[in-house]
Structure 1
């Protein structure tokens, strides 16, 4: 057989396709004709082993290895479906090419002395990867959170199981008080659709409730938060003799409740909004009684259409005084401004107060920003936590909600790697602009943050006047949605909840934190040597007044990560 000119023609002699007959096509001027039969040794489809039978060994070799044009497989219409050239490349019927494993190995070996085969191996020198390196579907490197926030053991008041005895009143469109279609505890929940100002409550509780030194944790889901104006909870002896807590904290772009999500909320005496009837608050917001309660009510005010709320549980837990008898304060700073080092730190050092600096990595060393040396001094010499805010300034300024999940993951992974590489041990994160909702492809940002940090700080806390400040508890019910009072400053002097005068006043949030117990997170941006000139600035004098007041109240100051991992 003349192997440099001969070709082979493939026929299918067997309808079962378990064998192919290969006939030699004689070269011009010759009459040599030989055949070979390829038989499948066992069933199993494409890739099963083949045996070759031929009356000429050269034909068998041509079929298996190929020479010259190597192999030309044609269909019944005479169209080539597979050809193999001298270089080992395979050309398919659609014009695409493939290559054998031996061809790939030979080619790579000719270019690279040491390479990592697809089947595994080791690399003795540096490996530079452009793009993402993944293992088992997960992007590497993976710097996991250092701490897991404990979960507070609670005493259930109700899980809304059969016979719970709660009822509705007011503007209620419909209800399913034994809802077996949507629940996360037991076998059912209770769902109520509110059309305006409506109630879901229970009176005449036989075992009256004592909330002295306690907090209340409840679990609810709001189908459409855009239809929710207020979600309040009341404890007392009747609708006219009770205390009210308002819980819909918002910063304008994000709210404590997210549509379609089961949300745990904790309220304590440090958060109480108002009293009614015989249940009153004095000038320092101390309640007249904290026990003997036989009435519980959820008040929901819907706006712009019906609002459906699912109720799953109400329970009593220890409040923060079980761990911090005088409450606790965290003084935190966003964006790495150098005035935090030059003006805020000197006001904290005399009291031994340690802050948390939420850092934008690529801004470090830039104009008006702290240097890496200053950050190390804060951590190593003053005991601060150097934590994460963003890796790229452009991501920070555009907010995480402007990016895909992959892009957010890239920024957070790089941020965490930067912190670790530079020896910074902070384990908490602050959402740029407080925006924690979802990425552009609808992935919860909190879920991505949880891959790299132990907590995520919002700027949620307020829902009205200076006294309406929701504070955090310990352990926090939502570690990746922790509450904080933000943009504290003395310009303009509006008398709002972020006004330093209100913060330090009798009955203000520091006073309440000490008297009733809470974790108060105070967030600052710019500290100015002179008068503040914009709403993100706080003068050094006003900042010093706040530090002096914290000291006079005897409230401990700890970095965020130390509170999160605190054990009594």
Structure 2
């Protein structure tokens, strides 16, 4: 499914073409151009000889010119006619960091709809449908790679909380224990620990030592707004906080 020349435009709007200027695998990618009109999505179709997709996940590499211009990306698996399994590739479009190749793994949990009776044991048509956001401008999305992966026998659920609010300690901890979920990760902002509404250093220590939570940290600002010196300073602050408080694994 890697040859962009094998894909064809199946919608009345937008365009598709191979692009050798940017790619994640091989030497070219599929460039999809949207219309800027959410009522006129752009669809690219790939014809297959009949692939068994009853027990798999879908592995994609995508790049957005501007994720804010895209409302949704749908992966449709079917055959002749409109019968298909429709999957939501990126429920949160911020997953597609603007101007960067991003890997997205899609499984059956991303099911948006089942249209008719698709035969997943013999998929002959794969469709990518890109729906523009409301009041957006025409934009481009690149597909660098699409493949199937075997479904995992089991999975891991990881729960995390941002910003170090004291609701982690006062609310989330008790609720999770009531459901038999032993621990999570609290990502705290170093220079806000101990402020009103935030966990104190003692509470963080209790969460880790008594309740088994992981304590980690993230930036205090959007890293994309910083120059190199600013990024280095931000990470030095994070690293110093974690080491000084005994959280080297964070």
Structure 2 counterpart of 1:358, from 160, 179, 187: 187
Report the CA distance shift for 1:411/1:197 in structure 2 as closer, same or farther (over 3 A). same
Structure 1 counterpart of 2:53, from 202, 206, 210: 210
Report the CA distance shift for 1:245/1:349 in structure 2 as closer, same or farther (over 3 A). closer
Structure (1 or 2) with the larger CA radius of gyration: 1
Unaligned runs of 5+ in 1: 1-157, 280-288, 428-568
Contact 2:24 2:61 in 1 (8 A): no
3-state SS, counterpart of residue 234 of structure 2: helix
Contact 2:189 2:218 in 1 (8 A): yes
- 1:335 is aligned to 163
Q: Distance in 1 between matches of 2:218 and 2:158?
A: 16
Equivalent runs, 1:383-422 vs 2, <5 Å: 383-390=212-219, 395=220, 399-400=222-223, 402-422=225-245
Higher normalized contact order (CA 8 Å, seq sep 6+, divided by chain length): 2
Q: Distance in 2 between matches of 1:193 and 1:335?
A: 37
3-state SS, counterpart of residue 329 of structure 1: coil
Q: Distance in 1 between matches of 2:192 and 2:26?
A: 50
Q: Distance in 1 between matches of 2:115 and 2:184?
A: 39
3-state SS, counterpart of residue 408 of structure 1: helix
Equivalent runs, 1:18-33 vs 2, <5 Å: none
- Structure 1 residue ranges, 4+ long, deviating more than 4 angstroms after superposition: 399-403
Q: Distance in 1 between matches of 2:66 and 2:193?
A: 41
Equivalent runs, 1:97-246 vs 2, <5 Å: 158-160=1-3, 165-177=6-18, 179-195=19-35, 196-203=40-47, 205-212=48-55, 214-246=56-88
Contact 1:172 1:193 in 2 (8 A): no
TM-score of the superposed pair, with normalisation by structure 2: 0.82
Unaligned runs of 5+ in 2: none
3-state SS, counterpart of residue 108 of structure 2: coil
Q: Distance in 2 between matches of 1:374 and 1:297?
A: 50
Report the CA distance shift for 1:240/1:353 in structure 2 as closer, same or farther (over 3 A). same
Q: Distance in 1 between matches of 2:201 and 2:9?
A: 58
Contact 2:24 2:145 in 1 (8 A): no
- What's the CA shift for 1:349? 4.1
- CA RMSD, Structure 1 to Structure 2 (Å): 2.7
Equivalent runs, 1:435-450 vs 2, <5 Å: none
Q: Distance in 2 between matches of 1:352 and 1:166?
A: 45
- 1:277 is aligned to 116
Report the CA distance shift for 1:317/1:345 in structure 2 as closer, same or farther (over 3 A). same
Q: Distance in 2 between matches of 1:371 and 1:174?
A: 54
Q: Distance in 2 between matches of 1:373 and 1:314?
A: 48
Contact 1:172 1:192 in 2 (8 A): no
Q: Distance in 1 between matches of 2:84 and 2:172?
A: 42
Report the CA distance shift for 1:380/1:425 in structure 2 as closer, same or farther (over 3 A). farther
Structure 2 counterpart of 1:312, from 137, 144, 150: 144
1:301 matched to 2:120: no
Q: Distance in 2 between matches of 1:181 and 1:331?
A: 39
Structure 1 counterpart of 2:101, from 255, 259, 262: 262
